[in-house]
């Protein structure tokens, strides 16, 4: 049997039907729709801000009117005017500042303590693979444990003062920091270690000159997560038992049906949270520039 | 073993224990590297070139055999030779200057002193103006220069270079070869050089050791008796071409057309 080459087949008329189809498609071109690249023009900043303020004013105005006309129950929802008055008294009484400072202090202490100790613990695994293997299951247990559920125990042990809030904030940040630093340790370039050893380095030199610097970006990357976790820990600690702090102000106001005060304290807490987040982001970018990343 | 032997490998063999049983990476290898020479190791991928270097640098203990430096047993001791691994391994968080002084720093030289010592070298060997930059800002050739200077300033008599120019383009590679020869002449060190490029090996070396795989072993020693300094045009001389052909034949390559034409 001989194979017929395609060209010969075409000459014999085998491909006629498909070719005809092609030609018909080409002879009747469809009209092209003219389209332009969709472009959205940027509004001036003033216009954006004006709309944002407008939305806020409308929302607050609607809330106030709804409370006036009895459309919503002002006892449960409070009203903007009442919240405004409460905000003023909250600041005039000095409680705003003292509560904010209390929450701020426990958050920052817990953040610093948890991050430092956690990172140090994570870095320590570089020293011995066997030690790392022994400790690992315990860390995973502690990681999966809902730390906030331990809050009552922590309050019992550390009392109702600052220490228990710091402990809770540290507990939340500690494990994340440990795991991240350990991930950094595992990612240390093996060939980098070999380079150091080929130069006759000691383990301590490899640790300080290679392992720690290569884990620094990993540790920096969890600072922003940790500040949020530390604030959560501090506020929950205040919910459970405390004499000061924004968390305790919110809880207390709720229990005594001072709904306006709940709103005020939540607002102040958000401002604190945003401020700390921005500060840590700034710190992060400074540190990154410092380590040349 | 002759009297001027700088580095001597005595029946060094390496067997790795793998999941599929023992793997003989290096059959007993004996190598004599005389003082102040430029010696190349060539061979197919996986023939144990890097393994030899790891053994000499003390990063891998040989299953059998000894490593002698200046006639003294140095098997398994680290920090005896300068070793440039297959990657440049510059630390991204250090400046070029601080990368170059790493070896001195590890040996305990105070940082300020080490920097003062290294600065003139950076100037002289084409890294002037880059000392305070980070490695990320350097080109491939510059990175290799920095890594090589780090190896040289470690101040050991023997330096091991594992395919330092493997990743460079042809033009940069030629520049770097000239640069390396200049450094070798200036410093007078004993260099052991690994490459896949036969022409590079012949052009640079005093001696070539050809290796074969499975198990890794040395199959030939080829002295290169071309006079120095060698101009670039040496690559077209019959002597050079003959040496290159011999190496290629030992590596199991068919004679290539370019050199047949010459
Ligand atoms: N730790 C190890 N365990 C098992 N086998 C290994 C180990 N290290 C290297 N080998 C094997 O030993 C052989 C020699 O490796 P080596 O890295 O020395 O080769 P090479 O000649 O440097 O190759 P290349 O030119 O690709 O760099 C290879 O087949 C490699 O797979
Ligand atoms: Mg190799």
Q: Whose CA is nearest to atom 17 of ligand 1?
A: B50
Question: Chain B within 8 Å of A209 (Cβ-Cβ)?
Answer: yes
> Tell me, what's the pLDDT at A1?
43
pLDDT of B113 higher than 50: yes
Q: How far is the CA of B181 from the centre of ligand 2 (A)?
A: 22
Say if ligand 1 is within 6 A of residue B25 CB.
yes
| Residue among A192, A198, A214 whose CB faces B59 most closely | A198
Mean pLDDT of B76-81: 86
Closest by CA to B143, choosing from B179, B99, B193, B200, is B99
What distances in angstroms separate CA A18 from CA A7, A183, B172, one per listed residue?
Answer: 15, 61, 55
Q: How large a percentage of chain A has pLDDT more than 90?
A: 66
> Tell me, what's the pLDDT at B24?
87
CA–chain centroid gap for B198, Å, is: 14
B152 neighbourhood in chain A, CB within 8 Å:
none
Q: What does the buried/exposed string (b/e) look like for A221-251 if buried means 16 or more CB atoms within 10 Å of the residue's CB?
A: ebbeebbbbbbbbbbbbbebbbebbbbbbbb
Alpha-helical segments (H) within chain A: 6-11, 16-27, 45-68, 74-77, 80-92, 95-124, 129-144, 151-158, 162-186, 190-198, 203-206, 212-221, 223-240, 246-255, 259-290
B91 neighbourhood in chain A, CB within 8 Å:
192, 209-210, 213
Q: How far is the CA of B47 from the centre of ligand 1 (A)?
A: 7
ipTM, two decimals: 0.87
Q: Whose CA is nearest to atom 30 of ligand 1?
A: B46
Least confident of A28-42, A113-127, A262-276, B248-262: B248-262
A293 neighbourhood in chain B, CB within 8 Å:
92-93
> Tell me, what's the pLDDT at B240?
86
Find tokens 């990612």 and name the residue. A187
Non-local (6+) Cβ contacts of A90 within 8 A are A96, A261, A264, A265, A268
B106 neighbourhood in chain A, CB within 8 Å:
196, 199-201, 205, 209
What distances in angstroms separate CA A257 from CA A88, B12, B149, one per listed residue?
Answer: 18, 84, 74
In a domain, A266, yes or no: yes
> Tell me, what's the pLDDT at A261?
92
Ligand 1 atom closest to Cα of residue B14: 12
Mean pLDDT of A25-43: 81
Chain A, window 169-198: residues with a beta carbon less than 8 angstroms from a chain B beta carbon = 189, 191-192, 194-198
**Cα B64 from Cα B56, distance rounded (Å):** 13
Mean pLDDT of B119-142: 85
The per-residue pLDDT for range B157-185, each reduced to its tens digit, is 899 999 988 888 888 888 889 888 988 88
Name the pTM for this structure: 0.81
Say if ligand 1 is within 6 A of residue B60 CB.
no
Residue in B closest to A211 by C-alpha: B91
Q: How far is the CA of B197 from the centre of ligand 2 (A)?
A: 13
Residues B162, B84 contacting (CB under 8 angstroms): yes
In a domain, A53, yes or no: no
The answer for B22, left when phi > 0, alpha when psi is -120 to 50, beta otherwise, is: beta
Q: Whose CA is nearest to atom 16 of ligand 1?
A: B48
The secondary structure of residue B252, as a DSSP letter, is T
> Tell me, what's the pLDDT at B123?
86
Mean pLDDT of B222-235: 85
A195 neighbourhood in chain B, CB within 8 Å:
83, 85, 89
The per-residue pLDDT for range B21-33, each reduced to its tens digit, is 888 888 888 999 9
Residues B60, B14 contacting (CB under 8 angstroms): yes
When divided into structural domains, chain A yields a total of 1
B58 neighbourhood in chain A, CB within 8 Å:
197-198
In a domain, A269, yes or no: yes
Indicate yes or no: CB of B83 within 8 angstroms of CB of A195: yes
Q: How far is the CA of B20 from the centre of ligand 2 (A)?
A: 22
In a domain, A61, yes or no: no
B143 exposure class (CB count in 10 Å sphere: 0-12, 13-18, 19+): buried
Mean pLDDT of B228-240: 85
Q: Which domain holds residue A214?
A: 81-292
In a domain, A224, yes or no: yes
The residue of B69, B80, B106, B160 whose CB has the most chain A CBs within 10 angstroms, and thus the best one to mutate to test that interface, is: B106
Mean pLDDT of B34-58: 90
> Tell me, what's the pLDDT at B71?
80
pLDDT of A136 higher than 60: yes
pLDDT of B227 higher than 80: yes
In a domain, A39, yes or no: no
Q: Whose CA is nearest to atom 5 of ligand 1?
A: B16
Indicate yes or no: CB of B58 within 8 angstroms of CB of A198: yes
> Tell me, what's the pLDDT at B130?
87
> Tell me, what's the pLDDT at B262?
37
Indicate yes or no: CB of B91 within 8 angstroms of CB of A213: yes
Residues A115, A219 contacting (CB under 8 angstroms): yes
Q: How large a percentage of chain A has pLDDT more than 70?
A: 89
In a domain, A73, yes or no: no
pLDDT of A14 higher than 80: no
The residue with greater pLDDT, A87 or A12, is A87
Ligand 1 atom closest to Cα of residue B216: 14
Band of pLDDT at residue A118, cut at 50, 70 and 90: very high
Say which CATH number the domain at A240 has: 1.10.3720.10
Question: Chain B within 8 Å of A7 (Cβ-Cβ)?
Answer: no
A111 is written with which tokens?
């953040």
> Tell me, what's the pLDDT at A179?
93
Least confident of A1-10, B159-168, B226-235: A1-10
Q: Whose CA is nearest to atom 26 of ligand 1?
A: B45
Indicate yes or no: CB of B89 within 8 angstroms of CB of A293: no
């Amino acid at each position: 049997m001989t194979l017929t080459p395609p060209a010969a087949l075409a000459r014999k008329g085998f491909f006629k039907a498909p070719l005809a189809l092609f030609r018909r498609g080409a002879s009747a071109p469809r009209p092209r729709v003219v389209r332009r690249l969709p472009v959205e023009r940027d509004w001036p900043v003033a216009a954006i801000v004006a709309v944002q303020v407008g939305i806020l004013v409308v929302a607050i105005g609607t809330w106030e009117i709804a409370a006036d006309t009895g459309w919503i129950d002002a006892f449960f929802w409070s009203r903007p005017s009442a919240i405004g008055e409460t905000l003023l008294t909250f600041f005039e009484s000095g409680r705003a500042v003292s509560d904010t400072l209390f929450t701020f202090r426990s958050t920052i202490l817990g953040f610093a303590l948890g991050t430092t100790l956690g990172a140090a613990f994570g870095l320590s695994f570089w020293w011995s693979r066997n030690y790392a293997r022994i400790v690992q299951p315990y860390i995973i247990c502690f990681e999966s444990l809902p730390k906030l559920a331990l809050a009552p125990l922590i309050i019992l042990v550390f009392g109702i003062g600052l220490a228990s809030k710091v402990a809770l904030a540290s507990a939340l940040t500690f494990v994340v920091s440990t795991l991240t630093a350990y991930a950094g340790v595992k990612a240390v370039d093996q060939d980098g270690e070999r380079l150091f050893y080929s130069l006759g380095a000691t383990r301590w030199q490899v640790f300080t000159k290679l392992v720690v610097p290569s884990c620094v970006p990993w540790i920096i990357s969890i600072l922003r997560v940790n500040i949020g976790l530390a604030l959560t820990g501090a506020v929950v600690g205040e919910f459970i038992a405390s004499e000061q702090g924004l968390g305790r102000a919110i809880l207390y106001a709720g229990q005594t049906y001072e709904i306006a005060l709940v709103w005020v304290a939540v607002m102040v807490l958000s401002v604190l949270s945003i401020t700390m987040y921005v500060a840590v982001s700034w710190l992060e970018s400074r540190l990154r520039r410092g380590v040349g990343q | 073993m002759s009297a001027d032997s700088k580095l001597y490998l005595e029946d060094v063999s390496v067997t790795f224990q793998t999941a599929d049983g023992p793997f003989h990476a290096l059959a007993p290898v004996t190598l004599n590297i005389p003082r102040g020479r430029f010696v190349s190791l060539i061979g197919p991928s996986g023939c144990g070139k890097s393994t030899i270097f790891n053994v000499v640098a003390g990063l891998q203990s040989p299953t059998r055999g000894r490593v002698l430096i200046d006639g003294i047993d140095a098997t398994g001791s680290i920090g005896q030779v300068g070793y440039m691994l297959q990657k440049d391994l510059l630390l991204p968080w250090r400046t070029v200057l601080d990368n170059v002084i790493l070896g001195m720093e590890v040996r305990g030289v105070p940082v300020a002193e080490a920097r003062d010592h290294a600065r003139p070298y950076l100037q002289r060997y084409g890294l002037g103006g880059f000392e305070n930059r980070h490695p990320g800002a350097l080109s491939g050739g510059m990175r290799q220069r920095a890594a090589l200077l780090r190896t040289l300033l470690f101040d050991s008599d023997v330096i091991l270079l594992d395919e330092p120019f493997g990743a460079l383009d042809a033009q940069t590679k030629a520049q770097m070869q000239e640069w390396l020869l200049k450094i070798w002449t200036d410093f007078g060190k004993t260099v052991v050089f690994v490459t896949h490029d036969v022409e590079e090996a012949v052009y640079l070396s005093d001696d070539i050791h050809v290796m074969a795989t499975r198990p890794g072993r040395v199959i030939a020693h080829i002295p290169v008796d071309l006079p120095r300094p060698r101009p670039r045009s040496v690559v077209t001389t019959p002597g050079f071409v003959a040496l290159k052909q011999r190496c290629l034949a030992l590596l199991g390559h068919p004679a290539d057309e370019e050199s047949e034409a010459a």
